[in-house]
């Protein structure tokens, strides 16, 4: 196996120069650098990153801990993290905490013991053990997707990257209200996750903006997964005053809600209008096509890497929270008519569809739904496009 000394001899430079070329630790003249690269190529030299880590105390690796990796939302986050890491010459170690606080602390400890330079973690609903571990060991960490509350006195302890959940949620509620719905239900996620509370708060903001009262019976917890959402939706359908529109707070819960609607022989949107948080590749293959809020999942992952690398470069910089905007993907499960032209037009092309434009009224279940107002849709500020 050729060594660094072999490369240095072949290129006619010192071992230190080879090291500077490999690690980018000092500028090296272009022709010297090329001679080193040619020698590396010719000899088939492979750097020993373990040996390098002993010298630099850096492994150029990032530990990623996210639950539900098979969920397309988290798979895309993973793709973003991987691409970002690769771009900056970092490799990834991945662990699944299964949304379980104890397991979470264990896998984070394992990643830390492998001496990753930093961690990217989507924290569970009860991250106390995790926070205690990270605090004790001072591990550079970025939280992703779910953010952790700020300490009582002010600035957040950790860098965080997430999607802006509340505003797009308010946006779909006002959209449904604009279509005449007055009983709009929410299938919310697992209690304790910031994404759950922000989406509930966005839902409430939407009701206020639409002048609709809050009815706690219309907010049920699907616990962020399909089976929970199926049960929660069935509970909504057993209410005396059923909702006429449903908002699901993530992709898995959309599947569960659709199962419950099917089991109750309710069609979408005629029997129940539906809008979902999370877009996914086959959301436009359903009939009707699903109106959804798309999260910038890959960008969340890539941005988390950038924030972590900034932290590694400047450990004392103040922690920051980056919120990325979502996109309202207007299709037809909300009850709007299929529009001519390309399937996903911008929201400016959206019009609340009245019965005359093909939207069915949920038969005999008024006053959950009134005739749609003639008002144009209000555009949510900034974050939803
Ligand atoms: N958080 C945010 N969005 C999601 C999640 C989650 O845990 N699961 C599916 N979409």
Q: What is the CATH number of the domain that holds 38?
A: 1.10.260.40
| Residue 348 pLDDT | 38
CA of 85 to the centre of ligand 1 (A): 22
- Taking the C-alpha atoms of residue 17 and residue 36, their distance in angstroms, rounded to an integer, is 8
Is residue 345 situated within a structural domain?
A: yes
Strand spans (E) along 180-301 = 184-188, 219-221, 245-248, 273-277, 291-294
280 Cβ closer than 6 Å to some ligand 1 atom? no
Is residue 310 situated within a structural domain?
A: yes
| Residue 368 pLDDT | 67
Same domain, 147 and 94: yes
- Residue from 65, 251, 283, 324 to probe ligand 1 pocket by mutation (most atoms less than 8 Å from CB): 251
pLDDT digits over 289-303, tens only?
A: 999 999 999 999 999
Cis previous bond, 32, omega within 30? no
Instruction: Kindly tell me if the per-residue pLDDT of 108 is higher than 80.
Output: yes
Same domain, 65 and 210: no
248 Cβ closer than 6 Å to some ligand 1 atom? no
Same domain, 284 and 183: yes
Same domain, 196 and 114: no
Same domain, 196 and 275: yes
Instruction: Kindly tell me if the per-residue pLDDT of 384 is higher than 90.
Output: no
* Two tokens, residue 145: 């997707």
Confidence of residue 50 (pLDDT cuts 50, 70, 90): confident
Same domain, 80 and 226: no
Is residue 53 situated within a structural domain?
A: no
Is residue 55 situated within a structural domain?
A: no
Mean pLDDT (whole number) for 9-14: 95
Confidence of residue 230 (pLDDT cuts 50, 70, 90): very high
Confidence of residue 100 (pLDDT cuts 50, 70, 90): very high
Instruction: Kindly tell me if the per-residue pLDDT of 358 is higher than 50.
Output: no
Least trusted range by pLDDT, from 128-142, 188-202, 268-282, 363-377:
363-377
- Taking the C-alpha atoms of residue 185 and residue 216, their distance in angstroms, rounded to an integer, is 9
Strand spans (E) along the chain = 61-65, 91-95, 118-121, 141-144, 159-163, 184-188, 219-221, 245-248, 273-277, 291-294, 321-324, 327-329
Q: What is the CATH number of the domain that holds 71?
A: 3.40.50.2300
| Residue 334 pLDDT | 97
Strands 273-277 and 291-294: parallel
Instruction: Kindly tell me if the per-residue pLDDT of 360 is higher than 70.
Output: no
Are residues 78 and 66 in contact, defined by beta-carbon separation less than 8 angstroms? yes
Same domain, 158 and 176: no
Mean pLDDT (whole number) for 177-188: 98
Are residues 67 and 38 in contact, defined by beta-carbon separation less than 8 angstroms? no
Instruction: Kindly tell me if the per-residue pLDDT of 371 is higher than 90.
Output: no
CA of 55 to the centre of ligand 1 (A): 40
Same domain, 336 and 287: yes
| Residue 341 pLDDT | 61
CA of 355 to the centre of ligand 1 (A): 34
Confidence of residue 312 (pLDDT cuts 50, 70, 90): very high
Is residue 372 situated within a structural domain?
A: no
Is residue 227 situated within a structural domain?
A: yes
Instruction: Kindly tell me if the per-residue pLDDT of 231 is higher than 60.
Output: yes
Same domain, 121 and 217: no
Same domain, 201 and 338: yes
Number of domains in the chain: 3
Q: State the Cα torsion 257-260-265-270 to the nearest 10°.
A: -20
Q: Is the dihedral of CA 132, 78, 72, 170 positive or negative?
A: positive
| Residue 295 pLDDT | 97
Give the range of the structural domain holding residue 17, as residue numbers without chain letter: 4-47
Same domain, 220 and 318: no
| Residue 284 pLDDT | 87
Same domain, 121 and 186: no
Is residue 362 situated within a structural domain?
A: no
| Residue 149 pLDDT | 75
| Residue 356 pLDDT | 32
Determine the 3-state secondary structure of 159 from DSSP.
strand
Strand order of the β-sheet with 245-248 is: 219-221, 184-188, 245-248, 273-277, 291-294, 327-329
Is residue 67 situated within a structural domain?
A: yes
Mean pLDDT (whole number) for 170-187: 98
- Classify residue 248 by its DSSP letter: E
- Taking the C-alpha atoms of residue 145 and residue 194, their distance in angstroms, rounded to an integer, is 8
Confidence of residue 54 (pLDDT cuts 50, 70, 90): confident
Instruction: Kindly tell me if the per-residue pLDDT of 351 is higher than 90.
Output: no
- Residue from 195, 222, 247 to probe ligand 1 pocket by mutation (most atoms less than 8 Å from CB): 195
CA of 131 to the centre of ligand 1 (A): 21
Are residues 158 and 148 in contact, defined by beta-carbon separation less than 8 angstroms? yes
| Residue 152 pLDDT | 53
Mean pLDDT (whole number) for 317-330: 95
What value does the mean pLDDT of the chain take?
87
């Amino acid at each position: 196996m050729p060594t660094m000394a072999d490369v240095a001899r072949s290129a006619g430079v010192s071992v230190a120069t080879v090291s500077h070329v490999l690690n980018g630790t000092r500028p090296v003249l272009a022709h010297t650098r090329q001679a080193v690269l040619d020698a590396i190529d010719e000899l088939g030299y492979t750097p020993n990153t373990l040996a390098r880590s002993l010298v630099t105390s850096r492994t150029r690796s990032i530990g990623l801990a996210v639950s539900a990796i098979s969920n397309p939302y988290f798979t895309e986050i993973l793709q973003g993290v991987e691409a970002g890491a690769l771009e900056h010459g970092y490799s990834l170690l991945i662990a699944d905490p299964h949304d379980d606080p104890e397991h979470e602390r264990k896998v984070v400890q394992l990643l830390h013991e492998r001496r990753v330079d930093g961690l990217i973690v989507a924290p569970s609903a009860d991250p106390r053990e995790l926070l205690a571990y990270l605090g004790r060991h001072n591990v550079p960490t970025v939280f992703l997707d779910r953010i952790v509350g700020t300490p009582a006195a002010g600035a957040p302890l950790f860098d965080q990257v997430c999607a802006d959940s509340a505003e797009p949620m308010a946006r779909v509620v006002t959209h449904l209200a604009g279509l005449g719905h007055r009983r709009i239900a929410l299938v919310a996620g697992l209690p304790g996750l910031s994404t759950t509370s922000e989406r509930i708060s966005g839902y409430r903001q939407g009701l206020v903006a639409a002048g609709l009262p809050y009815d706690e019976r219309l907010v049920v917890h699907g616990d962020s997964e399909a089976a929970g959402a199926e049960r929660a939706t069935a509970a909504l359908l057993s209410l005396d005053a059923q909702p006429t529109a449903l908002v699901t707070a993530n992709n898995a819960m959309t599947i569960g809600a659709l199962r419950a609607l099917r089991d109750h022989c309710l069609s979408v949107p005629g029997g129940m209008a539906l809008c979902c948080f999370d877009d996914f590749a086959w959301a436009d293959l359903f009939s009707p096509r699903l109106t959804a809020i798309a999260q910038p999942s890959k960008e969340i992952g890539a941005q988390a890497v950038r924030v972590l690398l900034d932290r590694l470069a400047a450990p004392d910089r103040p922690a920051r929270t980056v919120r990325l905007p979502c996109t309202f993907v207007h299709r037809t499960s909300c009850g709007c008519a299929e529009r001519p032209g390309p399937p996903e037009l911008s929201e400016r092309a959206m019009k609340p569809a009245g019965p005359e434009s093909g939207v069915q009224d949920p038969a005999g279940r008024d006053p959950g739904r009134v005739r749609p107002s003639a008002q144009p849709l209000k555009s949510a500020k900034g974050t939803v496009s």
